[in-house]
Structure 1
Amino acid sequence: MQLKPQDFLAALKLVAWGEQRWTYARLALELGISVSEAHACIKRGVQAGLLIDPALLIPPPESAAGVQEAAAVYRVQARPRRAKAAMATNADNPARAHSRNLAEFAVHGAKYAFPADKLPVSVGVPTSHSAPAFAGVFAPGSDDWVWPHPNGTVRGQGLAPLHPSVPFAAMQDAKLYEMLALFDALRVGRARERGMALKRLPLLIYPEGPKAAERPMYG
């Protein structure tokens, strides 16, 4: 099994959704991929440890304790688990993000698994530190990065998106867009942008995780 870029994209989408209920059809629609590919993304994500299959979290029935009494053995019946009900509750959520693993992969592994592919200067959707989420942090300038796209409005250094559907998916979901831009900052940003991404991206994916050492985020 080899993890694909769209698998990482799908995992980040589940983070962006949080506790929302979702279906494979909705995942496919919002990521601009087929339903069959959405299924494959989730399957590979679970295999890689970036996602968790809720069905696997249902504990098996407790082993019943035997009680011996007057040459007869009586079996104490354990209370039946409501496995089917639990599975039904998660019927629309076949998986959820393994936040700790995904945050670790996003920061320390993904940029090597999916290295940056720089393209010629073009017009497109801004990414990295040029994304709208960081408009008040980094001033626009000649070092803007963009995903080339016909509906783009910013001219800058071209960068191939993680997956061809990324511009479409990002423009529909602000949180997903921010995470993808931060990932690009890790791939192509200068020290200042990388430092910002190293602090911000793990917090978006795994808010309960260990906090980075206190230091000026953008200085």
Structure 2
Amino acid sequence: MKEHKGMRPQDIVVLLKLIIDSDQEIRIKDLSSKLYISASEVSESLNRSAISGLLNPQNRSVNREAFLKFLEFGLPYVFPAQLGPVMQGMYTAHSESSLYLSFSTEEKLVWADNQGKERGQTILPLYPSVVKAVKKDRILYKLLALCDIIRIGNSSDKNKAIWQLREVFQSKVSI
């Protein structure tokens, strides 16, 4: 077994995609092409997640309860978000269109993207390729936006985001 050298931000993205696609056969090359992460990085991510107990390596099923606890209690400390300059991009966190009315702040947050149509204060996404990946996966977009709320939001907003993630993790219903 490989040595665990700590979680990396792309591990969150891979685990979220595994939850979204849990009803399908999951192959490394499919994850790689959908997430724009190299196959070797996806493989390493799966190994790290298995070692940490967040993934069953036999069937590649996510330990959803453990993962949710990691997101709630670890994500803002392990992968904190910092605000950057105002730029054009695509909305994230509470600014994402389906989340906008559910959260308390009106501040616009974006992932920088030259092709983006929105403007706001930037935060770095968990992994650079997510901006490209979420353009083809609306569910992944919303889940990553919820993760950004956990990374940067106030405690009330973080609790709402965790509640919404729990609802998705406990059901097979798309959001």
The TM tier, using the shorter chain, reads: 0.7 to 0.9
2:126 to 147, 151, 162: 162
Partner of 1:22: 26
Q: Is the Cα contact below 8 Å between 1:33 and 1:165 reproduced in 2? A: yes
Instruction: Please give the per-residue CA displacement for 1:46-78, whole angstroms capped at 9, x wherever unaligned.
Output: 111111112xxxxxxxxxxxxxxxxxxxxxxxx
Shift of 1:2: 1.3
Q: Is the Cα contact below 8 Å between 2:75 and 2:151 reproduced in 1? A: no
Partner of 2:64: 99
TM-score, normalising length: structure 1: 0.71
1:176 to 122, 140, 150: 140
Amino acid at match of 2:81: A
Supply the distance in 2 between the matched residues of 1:197 and 1:38 (Cα, whole angstroms).
26
Shift of 1:135: 4.3
Amino acid at match of 2:77: Y
Amino acid at match of 2:20: A
Is the counterpart of residue 189 in structure 1 residue 159 in structure 2? no
Query: Mapping of 1:1-219 within 5 angstroms?
Result: 1-54=5-58, 95-137=60-102, 141=106, 143-207=107-171
Supply the distance in 2 between the matched residues of 1:199 and 1:6 (Cα, whole angstroms).
22
Supply the distance in 2 between the matched residues of 1:148 and 1:117 (Cα, whole angstroms).
13
Supply the distance in 1 between the matched residues of 2:7 and 2:155 (Cα, whole angstroms).
28
Going by fraction, where is helix more abundant, 1 or 2? 2
Instruction: Please give the per-residue CA displacement for 1:9-64, whole angstroms capped at 9, x wherever unaligned.
Output: 1011101112111211110011111111111111111111111112xxxxxxxxxx
Amino acid at match of 2:158: R
Supply the distance in 2 between the matched residues of 1:192 and 1:47 (Cα, whole angstroms).
32
Shift of 1:177: 1.1
Moved over 3 A (4+): 135-141
TM-score, normalising length: structure 2: 0.87
Supply the distance in 2 between the matched residues of 1:188 and 1:13 (Cα, whole angstroms).
22
Matched pairs, number: 168
Shift of 1:191: 4.5
CA RMSD of aligned residues (A): 2.0
Amino acid at match of 2:9: P
Supply the distance in 2 between the matched residues of 1:140 and 1:100 (Cα, whole angstroms).
28
Structure 2: runs of 5 or more not aligned:
none
Supply the distance in 2 between the matched residues of 1:109 and 1:206 (Cα, whole angstroms).
20
